[in-house]
């Protein structure tokens, strides 16, 4: 049995959870909700950087969502998801833009938490907005954390696509929450 340390608010963990649902391997993984800021000892031992997600398989620790997705795909899916991406630089670039948009959205979240400390940067918030618009690909997380970015009004056909796509089990069963 593997263990996955995760939170339901992390878009990185959400990528892993969606893949687990897509591969239908939920029954092989203990899902352990662990908020990084709680600094649980077992979590910190597994994840030296103190970040979720983190996967444990026996003696092996696999950290970082992209590495975990790669690991699960290679071991439980013959690499069918990622091999075609790695073989095509255009797909690789697209994948990297998707991840970059996740990074920016998390940075934007951190920046908005700083607002409460009255030292957030308007400059960085605007840069993040610009990049997120350019890489819209993490629609569920935007609906969860950044509802002020009204992407659905700006991109109606993307919104239509998402309305259909969100019924998929890997999205419907892995909804964001605090
Ligand atoms: N590159 C990592 C990033 C993971 C990450 O930054 N996770 C956030 C939650 S969204 C976290 O655990 N933050 C806690 C911290 O930085 O202390 C991945 O793809 O898994």
How far, in Å, is the centroid of ligand 1 from the Cα of 51?
4
User: Residue of the nearest CA to atom 15 in ligand 1?
Assistant: 51
Structure-token pair, residue 133: 């618009």
Per-residue pLDDT for 118 more than 90?
A: no
> In whole numbers, what is the pLDDT of the chain averaged over residues?
92
Q: Which among 157, 106, 74, 111 is positioned nearest to 85, based on CA atoms?
A: 74
The ligand 1 atom at the shortest distance from the C-alpha of residue 7 is 9
| Contact (CB, 8 A) for 54 and 46 | yes
The per-residue pLDDT for 130 is 86
111 C-alpha to center of ligand 1: Å? 15
* Residue 137 contacts residue 103 (beta carbons within 8 Å): no
Q: Separation of 158 CA from ligand 1 center, angstroms?
A: 27
pLDDT digits (tens, 9 = 90+) for 3-12: 999 999 999 9
Q: Separation of 53 CA from ligand 1 center, angstroms?
A: 7
Residues 126-137 pLDDT 10s: 888 888 888 777
User: Which of 7, 10, 145 is the pocket-test mutation for ligand 1 (most atoms within 8 Å of CB)?
Assistant: 10
Which residue has 């089990």 as its token pair? 169
What is the SS3 assignment for 28?
helix
pLDDT per residue as tens digits for the range 63-91: 999 999 999 999 999 999 999 999 999 99
Specify the pLDDT at position 108: 93
**Ligand 1 atom showing the smallest separation from residue 50 Cα:** 17
């Amino acid at each position: 049995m593997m263990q996955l340390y995760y939170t339901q608010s992390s878009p990185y963990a959400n990528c892993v959870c969606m893949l687990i649902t897509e591969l239908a391997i939920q029954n092989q993984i203990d899902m352990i909700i662990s908020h990084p800021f709680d600094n649980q000892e077992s979590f910190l031992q597994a994840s030296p950087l103190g970040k979720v997600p983190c996967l444990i398989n026996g003696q092996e620790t696999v950290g970082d969502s992209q590495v975990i997705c790669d690991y699960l795909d290679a071991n439980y899916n013959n690499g069918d998801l990622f091999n075609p991406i790695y073989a095509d630089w255009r797909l690789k670039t697209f994948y990297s833009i998707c991840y970059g948009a996740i990074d920016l959205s998390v940075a934007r979240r951190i920046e908005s938490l700083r607002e409460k400390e009255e030292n957030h940067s308007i400059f960085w918030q605007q840069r993040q907005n610009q990049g997120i618009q350019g890489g819209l690909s993490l629609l569920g997380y935007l609906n969860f954390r950044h509802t002020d970015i009204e992407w659905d009004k700006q991109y109606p056909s993307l919104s239509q696509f998402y309305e259909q796509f969100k019924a998929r089990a890997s999205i419907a069963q892995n909804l964001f929450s605090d």
